[in-house]
Amino acid sequence: MDAAVRRNSVPTERAPSFFTFVGAVIAVAALVSAVPVGRLPGQLPDLPLAFWVMAALAVLCDYRPFAPPGRRQSSAVFPSICFTFAILLAWGLGPALLVQAAAVAVSSWRLHHAPWRAVFNVAQYALALGAAEAVLRGLGETAFAAGVSPSWIDVVAVATAAGAWFLVKYGTVTIAVRLHAGGNWWATFRQGVAFESVSIGALLLLAPLLVGGPASRSVALIPLMLVPLFAVYRMSRLSSEQEHLARLDPLTGLANRKALLAEVHEQATLHTERAAAGAADRHFALLLLDLDRFKHVNDALGHAVGDQLLIEVSGRLVEAVGPNDVVARLGGDEFAILTPRLADASGARDLADRIVATLAEPVALDGLPLDVAGSIGIALFPEHGDDFATLMRHADVAMYDAKHRRDTVVVYAPESDHNTPERLSLLGDLRLALDPDVAAPGSGEITMYYQPQIEIQTGEVVGVEALLRWRHPKRGMVDPEELIKVAEQSAVMRLLTRRVVDDVVEQLAKWQAAGVCLRAAVNVSIRDLHTLEIVDQIKERLTRFAVAPDQLQLEITEGALMADPRRVLATISELAKLGVAIALDDFGTGYSSMQHLRRLPLTEVKVDRSFVLGMATDADDHAIVRTVIDLAGALGLRVVAEGVEDERTWRLLRSVGCHVAQGWFYARPMPAEELVEWLGRYRPLNPN
């Protein structure tokens, strides 16, 4: 729906209040105009040539009014108001109303206004001119009508009358816009007041110069007024164009962040009102799109090709969305789409799927086909936020969740948000608990639990996995997965790894002194593997506590490898040179597994518990576990099965040649002192 059609129609739910206001304005304007218009038949024959020249110029100028670009519904500049205000000063309200009505009729025809809107516009001008006339009479201004030199009092009176004209006209327009489109009245009033006050104020205050100058000396001088009017026109155009350009992305011509913010605010107000009215389409969605591998295009082909790619993508996005949707470029390769009037998230998902399909076709640039793909995060109003900042943050969380899952479209879910107030508070407490220089008795106790790893064929305890536990003073025992999710998105993860390595190496030394020789496996995150800092730390701790490197094993996931294979491989290689064993955790759930097994200095792979738990009842899981064991065996790698919780699973693992098992079938994770007691009681299982 284009702007003209939209402004000539009224939403059904708003029609009663809107047309009640329109009718009231027209009725009051008719009362204000009745007497002055009734005097016109006797007044017109006596009006001078100057009046008719001004009237002709007023109608002529309004044939091409200046309507600035953008979405504001009331900000066209009509030069006729300069002439009609001058006519009001010189010859009174009746002639001014007549000329203004003629000018409105011409401009309404030119701008394709509906008849009711043209009548409403005439009524607004009638009230504005009537208010100005009342001010002039109240202040006793007659200098311009009498053709005498005006005094300072007269100038003040005219300026006050112009102010009354503006307040009445702009006020009625703002109320009409509010009733037509919704939103806060004061916000609507402020939105255009700066532009309108400058442009309309300049036109109104040119009127006394016109009456006191050219009109009083020679009719031939009146057309010269077109020069300053053109200057006002140009000023208004330049001001509006600058405002419009400030809301556009210079590369693609799409809306920018500033424009998107204003649109979200407007839609939030509209949809809140629709929700209060019980409308079905009371939601809107913010979609955040980030292109995949765009940096590679810039690095390989140059920024000029990258810019052309962004322009092509922006064109495809505009084609994919609906007429009422807003597409914005936020910077770099990040785009946002605002889609209004939704019943639920399914409409936003449908739009996201269309966008994905649109981007699926390669883009041909300089004869080279470039694959374009992206990740889309969706945040829905009001479920996921009721303001721009919250919706943007939640759409951003969903978008990165999509990248993490290697999915294309994800709707925001609170459990994926690592930056909720609760989690931020938890992160702060964790930082205090890990800081050795801060006495934080209220931050809780961080300890290590250990779960035995048993060689299946012999029943010998060959190692343990070190598992982090944190007992928070208020929340109790924090779920380990929640703890890692909170920490791994921040620099606290490095502090946590440092603490774990220190505690585990020290514990190995204590066990060694007590005659217990075990290998301990420690999980590390992707942040730990991006630098060689962890290598230096482990080397220093092993030396300090006189622990052999092969007693420590680091477990990494395939997800960590895929995030930055080059840097991760460099770190792992240095650890392997040190003599520390490397295990690939959650094997089978990641990507490019064959490549990893071939290139990495691994000693062990751990079959993910999701396969082990189901292998006794699911033939596919059983086949996957057996295949992993055969593959690892061919490469000379030890295989550890996680999640062994019953005897049947243990026997199946033994039959397919798995080396080591870990799970509640043997023992739950336990503190270090309990592990020593458990080792004293433990007896190997008899497989027969």
Q: Where is mean pLDDT largest: 175-184, 368-377, 482-491, 510-519?
A: 510-519
H-assigned helices in 223-342: 226-245, 257-276, 294-301, 303-320
The three-class DSSP label of residue 473 is coil
Q: Where is mean pLDDT largest: 444-448, 591-595, 647-651?
A: 647-651
158-176 mean pLDDT? 90
pLDDT, tens digit (0-9, with 9 covering 90-100), for 31-52: 999 999 999 998 899 888 889 9
d(CA 684, CA 356): 56
* Euclidean distance between the first and the last CA atom of the chain, given in angstroms as a whole number: 79
Residue 539 has pLDDT above 80, yes or no: yes
CA Rg value for the chain: 38
Residue 181 has pLDDT above 90, yes or no: no
Q: Where is mean pLDDT largest: 117-126, 211-220, 437-446?
A: 117-126
User: What was the pLDDT predicted at 553?
Assistant: 93
Confidence grade of residue 187 (pLDDT, cut at 50, 70, 90)? low
Lowest-pLDDT choice from 214-218, 330-334, 395-399: 214-218
Confidence grade of residue 145 (pLDDT, cut at 50, 70, 90)? confident
Q: Where is mean pLDDT largest: 92-96, 141-145, 404-408?
A: 92-96
Confidence grade of residue 100 (pLDDT, cut at 50, 70, 90)? very high
Question: Which DSSP string do the residues of 408-452 spell out, in sequence order?
Answer: SEEE--GGG-TTSHHHHHHHHHHHHHH-TTS--GGG-EEEEEEEE
Residue 72 has pLDDT above 50, yes or no: no
Q: Where is mean pLDDT largest: 151-155, 174-178, 338-342?
A: 338-342
**How many secondary structure helices (H) and strands (E) does the chain include?**
28, 17
157-183 mean pLDDT? 85
Residues pairing with 454 in the sheet: 461, 661
Confidence grade of residue 191 (pLDDT, cut at 50, 70, 90)? low
Residue 463 has pLDDT above 90, yes or no: yes
User: What was the pLDDT predicted at 111?
Assistant: 81
Residue 599 has pLDDT above 80, yes or no: no
d(CA 502, CA 663): 25
Confidence grade of residue 2 (pLDDT, cut at 50, 70, 90)? very low
User: What was the pLDDT predicted at 330?
Assistant: 86
Residue 27 has pLDDT above 90, yes or no: yes
User: What was the pLDDT predicted at 3?
Assistant: 46
Tokens of 643: 């999640």
Residue 288 has pLDDT above 80, yes or no: yes
128-149 mean pLDDT? 84
pLDDT, tens digit (0-9, with 9 covering 90-100), for 659-688: 999 999 999 999 999 999 999 999 887 666
Residue 376 has pLDDT above 80, yes or no: yes
How much of the chain exceeds pLDDT 70, in percent?
81
What long-range pairs does 220-225 form, CB within 8 A, spacing at least 24? 222/50, 222/53, 222/54, 222/57, 223/53, 223/57, 225/57, 225/82
Q: Residue 4's CB: how many other CB atoms inside 10 A?
A: 12
559-569 mean pLDDT? 67
489-498 mean pLDDT? 78
Residue 638 has pLDDT above 50, yes or no: yes
Residue 592 has pLDDT above 50, yes or no: no
Confidence grade of residue 424 (pLDDT, cut at 50, 70, 90)? low
**Mean pLDDT over all residues of the chain?**
82
Q: Is the N-terminal amide bond of 382 cis, ω within 30° of 0?
A: yes
Confidence grade of residue 364 (pLDDT, cut at 50, 70, 90)? confident
pLDDT, tens digit (0-9, with 9 covering 90-100), for 233-265: 666 566 655 665 567 888 888 888 888 888 888
pLDDT, tens digit (0-9, with 9 covering 90-100), for 211-238: 876 655 666 666 767 666 666 666 656 6
Residue 7 has pLDDT above 60, yes or no: no
d(CA 417, CA 589): 22
286-294 mean pLDDT? 86
User: What was the pLDDT predicted at 74?
Assistant: 45
Residue 296 has pLDDT above 60, yes or no: yes
